[in-house]
Amino acid sequence: MSDLPNRKPETGAFFARDRLWHPPGLTPGYKTSVLRSPQKALFSLDGTISEITGPVFGHSILGELDNDLIHNFAKPGESAIGERIIVHGRVLDERARPMPGALLEFWQANAGGRYRHKKESYLAPLDPNFGGCGRAITDADGHYAFRTVKPGPYPWPNGVNDWRPAHIHFSVFGHGFAQRLITQMYFEGDPMIWKCPIVQTIPDKAAVEQLVAALDWGNTIPMDARAYKFDIVLRGRRSTLFENRMEGN
Amino acid sequence: MVQSLGYLKESASQTAGPYVHIGLTPNHAGIGGVYDTDLGATMVNDKTLGRRITITGRVLDGTGTPLKDALLEIWQADAAGLYNSPSELRGSADPNFTGWSRCATDGVTGEYRFDTIKPGRVPFRDGRPMAPHISVWIVARGINLGLNTRMYFADEEAANAEDPVLARIEHRVRVTTLIAAGEGDHYRFDIHLQGERETVFFDI
């Protein structure tokens, strides 16, 4: 499954997750969480081999247009409507080491805030040339990039008048199943971010700011597409130097 | 001031939302032509070693209503107890078994289904064998951070009795929430997010 660049595989257990930094399960302002959140305490389990290993995907799974949402669903010669942007960044671990071979999958609404999904009934129209999914695998330095159109804000049935800020969903695989993460990317300067009940599930303002992509003027391509930079941090691994039962890992 | 550790903070989780299928199972969601197949749709082929099994079940909320918009991923060892991962240093796993799969719950019935093989035993941190198990990760609208649990097998009574993880669960009545009913080729594993029969979830 793997075509990772040469590097000794890491086998340490992961840093404990800071659950005061992540959103808790029960966040009543986000109504659906009320009946979908466990009420009993989580059972702590320091990484066994079942958690520290995980699937790793090779670049061979990628198609040519997988990281181009402007074109990967469009008819030949056509393209999606909206603000053309490039989203790029790095996947790092908590030790600030780049994560090569990390699979990212992203999905989003179109420029009008409409998702291509059968359960979606928002009156804004579908774009016939926009599907809304893409994926990429980080290179040896942990970099990824994709092209898309900037998604529009989107109303949802939570409060009477709740709207999601413009956002792109990210699903990330590191190298261990315990690193599995789904999050959302927001856009610099969007006033909707601070009104959103889903954003507000995150207790720490600094943790929210870490999910806001910066307008990257340096990488903006003149007469083509603006760039946003979005780095993602996955859990770090303990060094195996002091693990006293290597064979049991 | 002491030296800085220089650590970064993990990116905070956010819910996968109701349209997670667009990104993770687009063909299943009706978005054809972007990927040939949905990632993780199959984990076995004709040459995979081990006993074929099927796992079905539902994810239920605090009222007992099945979630019709959840997505599950499983991760498990091969029949010999080896993981198909670069971090597996004990040997080479079965090349015909990925060890990983994903499945969205059905939009009408809420059922999920995995066609896989019965995993072999793998060691706990101190070397004692754990009972055969499958790691499960659940995301959905209303779940802010993916939930981790494990599925064990009802027909592995002796192995389950000596499993070092199950042994540490203080409230013994809750151990049964991790054990899939069934024998032979078909196992049934319902996951209760909340309430009296709440499944044990792990902070891994």
Average pLDDT over residues A158-184: 97
Residue type (1 letter), A210: Q
Residue A244's pLDDT band (boundaries 50, 70, 90)?
low
Average pLDDT over residues A5-16: 78
**Cβ–Cβ below 8 Å for A177 and B193:** no
Give me the residue from A27, A49, A210 closest to B12, CB to CB: A210
**Cβ–Cβ below 8 Å for A35 and B20:** no
Measured in whole angstroms, how far is the alpha carbon of residue B196 from the centre of its chain?
Answer: 22
Residue A4's pLDDT band (boundaries 50, 70, 90)?
low
Q: What interface predicted TM-score (ipTM) does this complex get?
A: 0.96
Examine the pLDDT at A8 and tell me if it is beyond 90. no
Examine the pLDDT at B15 and tell me if it is beyond 50. yes
What is the residue-averaged pLDDT of chain A?
94
| Residue linked to tokens 């599930």 | A201
Average pLDDT over residues A7-23: 89
| A76-90, A143-157, A234-248, B188-202: the lowest-pLDDT one | A234-248
Give the number of A-B residue pairs with CB atoms closer than 8 Å: 293
Measured in whole angstroms, how far is the alpha carbon of residue B180 from the centre of its chain?
Answer: 12
What confidence score (pLDDT) does residue A7 get? 62
* Residue B158, C-beta contacts closer than 8 angstroms, at least 6 positions apart: none
Average pLDDT over residues B20-49: 96
Give B151-183 pLDDT, tens digit per residue.
999 999 999 999 999 999 999 999 999 999 997
Count CA within 13 A, CB hemisphere, residue B171: 13
Give A114-166 pLDDT, tens digit per residue.
999 988 889 999 999 999 999 999 999 999 999 999 999 999 999 999 999 99
User: Residue B55 in 3-state DSSP?
Assistant: strand
Residue B122's pLDDT band (boundaries 50, 70, 90)?
very high
Give A46-56 pLDDT, tens digit per residue.
999 999 999 99
Q: Which residues pair with A185 in a beta bridge?
A: A168
Average pLDDT over residues A100-104: 97
**Which tokens in the block code for residue B87?**
């971090």
List the catalytic residues of A.
Answer: 115, 154, 164, 167, 169
Say whether residue B92 is in contact with chain A using an 8 A CB cutoff. no
Mapping DSSP onto H, E and C, the string for chain A reads CCCCCCCCCCCCCECCCCCCCCCCCCCCCCHHHCCCCCCCCCEECCCCHHHHCCCCCCHHHCCCCCCECCCCCCCCCCCCCCCEEEEEEEEEECCCCECCCCEEEEECCCCCCCCCCCCCCCCCCCCCCCCCEEEEECCCCCEEEEEEECCCCEEECCCCCEEECCEEEEEEECCCHHHCEEEEEEECCCCCHHHCCCHHHCCCHHHHHCCEEEECHHHCECCCEEEEECCEEECCECCHHHCCCHHHC
Give me the residue from A10, A45, A245 closest to B202, CB to CB: A45
Percentage of chain B surpassing pLDDT 90? 98
Percentage of chain A surpassing pLDDT 90? 89
Examine the pLDDT at A206 and tell me if it is beyond 90. yes
**Cβ–Cβ below 8 Å for B87 and A53:** yes
**Cβ–Cβ below 8 Å for B84 and A210:** no
Residue A245's pLDDT band (boundaries 50, 70, 90)?
low
Strands A43-44 and B202-203: parallel
Give this prediction's pTM: 0.96
- Per CB-CB distance under 8 Å, the chain A contacts of B99 are 55
**Cβ–Cβ below 8 Å for A201 and B15:** yes
Q: Is B195 left (phi over 0), alpha (psi -120 to 50) or beta?
A: left
- Per CB-CB distance under 8 Å, the chain A contacts of B11 are 181, 183, 210-211, 232-234
Q: Closest Cα partner for A221 from A66, A87, A53, A65? A: A87
What confidence score (pLDDT) does residue A239 get? 83
Examine the pLDDT at A6 and tell me if it is beyond 80. no
